[in-house]
Amino acid sequence: MKINDIISRNYQDLETLSRSEKEKYLLAEPFPNIELNNFFDQNFLDKILKEFPDLANLEKSNKYVNKNEVKYANNQYDMFPEIIKVFLDFLNSSIFLKFIQNITSIKENLVADKELNGGGLHEIKKGGVLKIHTDFNRHPTLDLDRRVNVLIYLNKNWKEEYGGHLELWDKDMKECKKKILPNFNKMVIFSTNDFSNHGHPNPVSCPNDHSRKSIALYYFSKGRPLEEINKDYVKNKTYFKDRFGYINDTDSKNEKFKNFLRSFKFYKLMKNFEKKYLRKK
């Protein structure tokens, strides 16, 4: 399938687009981000939505039910419909990767994650939530740093009152600086580091026959600027955070012993083996 079949006419010159939007991306609050509406060809994305499976009934979907997150996710590429595979292949292609590299102005070479660790298809049904957090900062099995998130929303006729806004919070968790409604054919790109607080902290209130659907891609690099690193953080852990003014907004587990183990190379090797081979089985 050609790029003309995937990207809308207004955005097919990706090099010009990245140059024109780069400054807007870098200066965005509270950390570099941009939302691009109707980026993909309408007919193509209609096909993606039509083939998007009910993740609650798709084999090997991950179901999260806890105070911090209530959602479904699936990254089993081989199980996806062919049209979704084509889409994911494009999003991990050298053409799209170059666009992400240019618009973010990241100096280190970006690498696509074809294993879709933490990415792939996401679905949140009525009552679902994803509290404000910073993402795991390292690739689970490779010596790479997580740098960029790309989220593509697939929700037609999504109303304001349904909620599910992607919220971007400041470094100190004092204020939500940006709220993005997850409308159909909206792509959000943002740089991710130890301070890029994001999520949708309020339960989705859509009708029972609706759900908040998205496709997530993450991009990595070998090394990153030191100012993006919180030295108090343990590598490869998602940190959920309370919003200012909310008491016990999230569930923060005491993992002192586990964090101690994480400092040992042998433990890291064992966890990598488990994630790569045992979990998939």
Q: Looking at the predicted structure, is the pLDDT value of residue 174 above 90? A: yes
pLDDT number for residue 195: 95
Tokens representing 64? 């999260």
pLDDT score at 93:
97
pLDDT of residue 237: 86
For residue 122, report the phi and psi dihedrals to the nearest 5 degrees.
-125, 145
Q: What percent of the chain has pLDDT over 70?
A: 89
Does 189 score more than 50 pLDDT? yes
262 against 126, higher pLDDT:
126
Q: Are 114 and 76 in contact (CB under 8 A)?
A: no
* Buried residues in 137-167 as b, exposed as e (16+ CB within 10 A): bbbbeeebbbbbbbbbbbbeebeeebbbbbb
Q: Can you tell me the distance from the alpha carbon of 32 to that of 236, in angstroms, rounded to the nearest whole number? A: 21
Residue that the structure tokens 């003014």 belong to: 245
Q: At residue 261, does pLDDT exceed 80?
A: no
Fold of 3-250: Jelly Rolls (2.60.120)
User: Mean pLDDT throughout 127-131?
Assistant: 97
Strand partners, 74: 121
Q: For the chain, which residues make up each domain, given as ranges? A: 3-250, 257-281
Cβ atoms of 191 and 147 within 8 Å: the answer is yes
- For the chain, the average pLDDT equals 91
Q: What is the pLDDT of residue 281?
A: 44
